[in-house]
Amino acid sequence: MRKIGIEIFYWIERWADDQIAFFPKAKDCGFDSVEISFVSGPETIDVPRMRAELERLNLDIFCSTGLSLQTDITSPDASVRDAGIQYLRHCLETAQQLGSPILGGVTYAPWLQFPETTDLRPYRDRSAAALKEVAKIAGDLGITLTLEVLNRFETFMFNTAAEGLTFLAQIDHPATKLQLDTYHMNMEEDDLAAAIHQSGTQIGHFHCAASNRKLPGRGHIDWLAIKAALDAVGYQGALVIETFPNPNVETGRAVNTWRPLVGEDKDTDVKAALAFLREHVA
């Protein structure tokens, strides 16, 4: 069975809150792993304390990050791209220190940024060129850099698995793979299972959320088809639940959560989602 994790921001109200403080909740709910983000920069991570808590709770970890306008590897400004490469290097080094097998997230362009020009190819070309360098760093560190395929409202870079595979081919390095997310796939793919089949061994990480970004099992995604496709391509990585359920806090508002996506007892609801994934997908 595939192991199941939880993106720790499920419980967190502000991006800058202490992620480690919520690790016991993940363990108590029965998860095998946690996913954390370098949202405030990898230098803010207390590596010894985080490693100690992971070991105490016997939890695996996955790391993710994103790029800012100051670290934008799609930028025409070479100094900005260089800053982005160095930022990703620092993130990869921190992920290795924490024991994460991947560095995932929006690792290829700033989230929610859209160029005004109609010619987007130079942005993709600059990103791929920078990621060639970053992929070499990742490979030397034994880390896989995963590129999350997002919907059209969150990025212009690529929105389907097929487009993501084309971008991977442009990078052309085995340390880069795709990160698929059923919430985004539900919006962009003609057939979710077919997209998984097409991605095959290029899937490096997998996020689970319902079609409406509620917890798995609450929307209309065909999870049995997802399981069959993951089985067929031999994906043995983790399944990580990612949702931002609270509309009244910073983390929910940032991703346009305007109504509660879980009940008042978040722990009970997420335990049910974990049980659902274990029964139908893992």
Catalytic residues: 148, 242
Copy the structure tokens of residue 19. 């992620």
- DSSP letter, residue 13: S
**What is the C-alpha R_g of the chain?**
18
- DSSP letter, residue 14: S
Give burial (CB, 10 Å; 0-12/13-18/19+) of 49: exposed
Give burial (CB, 10 Å; 0-12/13-18/19+) of 206: buried
- Give backbone dihedrals phi and psi of 83, rounded to 5 degrees, phi first: -65, -40
Hey, which bits of 54-115 come out as E strands?
60-67, 102-110
| Residue (of 29, 23, 28, 32) closest to 4 by Cα position | 32
List Cβ neighbours of 248 (8 Å cut-off, separation of 6 or more): none
Question: How many residues belong to the chain?
Answer: 282
| Residue (of 30, 25, 47) closest to 96 by Cα position | 47
CA triple 173-154-179, angle to 5 deg: 35
Contact 3, 33 (CB under 8 A): yes
